Amino acid sequence: MDGHVTTPALGRLGLFTVLLGASLPLIDFSVVNVALPSIDHDLAAGPALLELVVAGYGLSYAVLLVLGGRLGDLFGRRRLFLAGMAAFGLTSLACGLAPGAWTLVGARVAQGAAAALMLPQVLATIRSSTSGPRRARALSLYGATVGLSMMVGQILGGVLVAADLAGSGWRAVFLVNVPVTVAGLVLALRTVPETRSERPAPVDVPGTLLLGAALLTLLAPLTEGRAAGRPLWTWIALAVFPVAVWAFWRVELRADRAGRTPLVPPSLLGLVPLRRGLVLILPLSMGFGGFVFVIAVALQQGLGLGAVVSGLALAPMAVAFFAASLAGPRLVRRWGTRVVTAGGVVQALGIGLLAVTVWRAWPDLSVWLLLPGMAVAGLGQGLQLPVLFRVVLSEVPPERSGVGSGVMVTTQQSALALGVATLGSLFLSLASSVGSGTALTVTLLVQLALVLLTAALSLRLPRTVG
């Protein structure tokens, strides 16, 4: 039998522990944004290397997530969670002690790889060691953790840099992970049950390499291209991307038909809830990733607000998101997946309100003026993301929990990086020509279009969630 039957159930403290593990990689995705000016000043990094500090982490993280899920199925999810958390603590220490910019980039790449080992085990453990209402609540809390972590990262980064603990400056945003991971390891050893697939499959080396190539040829030019001046390699990489995707899909189909277990089984994508849920996660996460990045840059560079104040602008969104996430299971029992549609409409109202506020109030914009739009947008998003996680995983067989979790998290993280690259580039290019206020308004309107697309696509979801 699979781990969810033969192992102890995941208790409250165990759930807290795996959610703590899930929050660390996501916080580190955004915490570094507000520390970049300090890193540049201290290490003389320059724009291209600063982009690599951010992109190096995101690329290794996204590329290795599905492999991390497969390894958890193969060797045990608790074991991989512990290994990933330990590696995350060590690589965070390396980031915090980095003597130069290139050392920091290398440590960030290694930190992203450690995160990719740890994060897929969280959802797979929840799927394999909970059931019924407990699983629904755990997945809702996971969704709340995902959304909150990105916002908390911005706030925490600003506070730590401003506090300059013991003269550590920007290094504190990495060093703070070390005691947290030590505590997490102690808790995990005592509270997280071991689960693994009953029929673990060996690692699909060709599929892993081709998926890595596909993600790299898309994300590397989009995240690094602007700072590097759009050199020839970025266009070559983008041209290679569809070829890599085609080759990956052909290899996976051939392995599936031959009775082997590919990295991303095409039969898994045949599950309607998973396929349609992933389609919604793409625009939702793109918009969110871009929004969190752009709002920080606009408030700090455009209005000259401090890192702490610009981070706190996201607090109403975080509070509303968390409240909606907790209400999600009860609402889904009554209204099914139409909760996602309603959430899209509410989020659209919030983003529209923010766009009007920015357009009318800039440059006299304040955090207080942003509060209503932030709260409404956060409420709408909190009604969508946790429910979509449940939809995507609802029909995934327990023995494929790691693979299913890896595919979903890879989609989400790649979309977050795409959002930062595309909406971020749009904002920065417009800001230099028409000003930050107009640039922020236009970027918000583009995000509004993505939100409306999500709401429309949600009508195709199955009405009930398993």
Three-class HEC string of the chain: CCHHHHCCCCCHHHHHHHHHHHHHHHHHHHHCHHHHHHHHHHHCCHHHHHHHHHHHHHHHHHHHHHHHHHHHHHHCHHHHHHHHHHHHHHHHHHHHCCCCHHHHHHHHHHHHHHHHHHHHHHHHHHHHHCCHHHHHHHHHHHHHHHHHHHHHHHHHHHHHHHHCHHHCHHHHHHHCHHHHHHHHHHHHHHHCCCCCCCCCCCCCHHHHHHHHHHHHHHHHHHHHHHHHCCCHHHHHHHHHHHHHHHHHHHHHHHHHHCCCCCCCCHHHHCCHHHHHHHHHHHHHHHHHHHHHHHHHHHHHHHCCCCHHHHHHCCHHHHHHHHHHHHHHHHHHHHHCCHHHHHHHHHHHHHHHHHHHHHHHHCCCCCHHHHHHHHHHHHHHHHCCHHHHHHHHHCCCCHHHHHHHHHHHHHHHHHHHHHHHHHHHHHHHHHHHHHCHHHHHHHHHHHHHHHHHHHHHHHHHCCCCCC
Average pLDDT (316-329) is: 86
pLDDT digits (tens, 9 = 90+) for 14-51: 999 999 999 998 888 778 877 877 888 888 877 667 77
pLDDT digits (tens, 9 = 90+) for 200-243: 667 788 888 898 898 888 888 887 777 677 788 889 999 999 99
The top-scoring range by mean pLDDT among 267-271, 314-318, 329-333, 373-377 is 373-377
Lowest mean pLDDT among 76-85, 173-182, 342-351, 399-408: 399-408
Name the band, by pLDDT with cuts 50, 70 and 90, for residue 290.
confident
pLDDT confidence of residue 334: 85
Q: How far apart are CA 249 and CA 264, in angstroms?
A: 9
CA dihedral for 132, 134, 140, 146, sign (positive or negative) = negative
1 or 371: which leads in pLDDT? 371
Query: Is pLDDT at 4 greater than 60 in this prediction?
Result: no
Average pLDDT (363-377) is: 92
Average pLDDT (93-119) is: 93
Lowest mean pLDDT among 64-78, 218-232, 444-458: 218-232
pLDDT confidence of residue 137: 83
pLDDT digits (tens, 9 = 90+) for 130-152: 877 888 788 888 888 887 887 78
pLDDT confidence of residue 183: 96
pLDDT digits (tens, 9 = 90+) for 296-314: 888 877 888 777 787 788 8
Average pLDDT (186-202) is: 83
Residues across the chain: 466
pLDDT confidence of residue 90: 97
Q: How far apart are CA 414 and CA 411, in angstroms?
A: 5
Average pLDDT (108-123) is: 92
Query: Is pLDDT at 3 greater than 70 in this prediction?
Result: no
* Single-letter code of the amino acid located at 56: G
136 or 90: which leads in pLDDT? 90
pLDDT confidence of residue 2: 44
pLDDT digits (tens, 9 = 90+) for 332-342: 888 888 999 99
Average pLDDT (275-304) is: 87
pLDDT confidence of residue 466: 62
The top-scoring range by mean pLDDT among 84-93, 187-196, 271-280, 319-328 is 84-93
pLDDT confidence of residue 298: 87
Residue from 34, 189, 175, 19 nearest 111 by CA: 175
pLDDT confidence of residue 7: 53
pLDDT confidence of residue 5: 44
Q: How far apart are CA 146 and CA 325, in angstroms?
A: 11
Measured CA distances, 408 to 1, 38, 358, 401 (Å): 24, 34, 34, 11
pLDDT confidence of residue 1: 38
Query: Is pLDDT at 430 greater than 70 in this prediction?
Result: yes
382 or 466: which leads in pLDDT? 382
Chain position carrying tokens 């599936």: 256
Q: What is the mean pLDDT of the chain?
A: 86
Query: Is pLDDT at 379 greater than 80 in this prediction?
Result: yes
pLDDT confidence of residue 179: 95
Residues 341 and 387 sit within 8 Å (Cβ to Cβ): no
Backbone angles phi, psi at 129, to 5 degrees: -130, 15
Query: Is pLDDT at 268 greater than 90 in this prediction?
Result: no
